[in-house]
Amino acid sequence: MAIKSSKDGRVVAGVLALQGDVVEHIAALRRAGAEAIAVKNRADLDRVDGLVIPGGESTTVMKLLARFEMGEPIVRRVRAGMPLWGTCMGMIVVAHDVVEMQQPTLDLIDISVRRNAFGRQNDSAEVDLPIPALGEAPFPAIFIRAPWIERAGADVQLLAERNGHGVMVRQGNVLGTSFHPELSADARVHAYFLEMVAEAREAHVGNDRNVA
Ligand code: GLN
């Protein structure tokens, strides 16, 4: 099944490809029916209707975003309405701030996150996570040195929690997950994000690809 917008064909989802698990996300987006490309520079960013920032190492990626001058164009597109989904490290990169750390972020969603919050014993855990927005069956959520959400602003929707802490949130066109849906066979979170992308494209927000 291809995710289509009624206007002009398939939506194009991008995965920020500076560091992290890019290939897995591209494969999962394709399985969920989208055209998916790696976003390595501004020209790639101009081609996409929505962007995923994958898991990886947040300090490294913030440095690379600055070095390749990609942070600002991403912020501009997202403020103009382009959907963005941060998984794990990606959610840290888009958060308002990181608790107990002086770490720069893109500040695109009003949450404060704690890095590596689930502790060493949970460095790699697969959890049956209830996510009501995705239906009744729990989601097989894979947590790898995952952050949790310590504070969320009033406009932030809490979509899932684990051990009393938010692990999936949405504020308008920005989605964040502490876990790694690209490593599960279950495509429901990718499909959820692609719906956001298709809707934004239909509504003609954030898809003026020249904004960037
Ligand atoms: N621990 C990493 C960080 O804090 C995130 C881990 C991940 O993305 N799997 O940047």
pLDDT attached to residue 196 = 97
Q: Is 166 in the pocket of ligand 1 (CB under 6 A)?
A: no
Active site residue 100: no
Best residue for ligand 1 mutational test, from 89, 112, 142 (most atoms within 8 Å of Cβ): 89
Single out the residue of 97, 47, 72 nearest to residue 207, CA to CA. 47
Q: Is 57 in the pocket of ligand 1 (CB under 6 A)?
A: yes
pLDDT in tens, 161-178: 999 999 999 999 999 999
pLDDT in tens, 134-165: 999 999 999 999 999 999 999 999 999 999 99
Domain boundaries, the chain: 12-211
CA 33 to chain centre: 17
- The fold of the 12-211 domain, in CATH, is Rossmann fold (3.40.50)
Which pLDDT band, with edges at 50, 70 and 90, does 8 fall under?
A: low
Question: What spacing in Å lies between the alpha carbon of 11 and ligand 1's midpoint?
Answer: 28
pLDDT attached to residue 99 = 96
CB distance 107 to 176 below 8 Å = no
pLDDT in tens, 30-58: 999 999 999 999 999 999 999 999 999 99
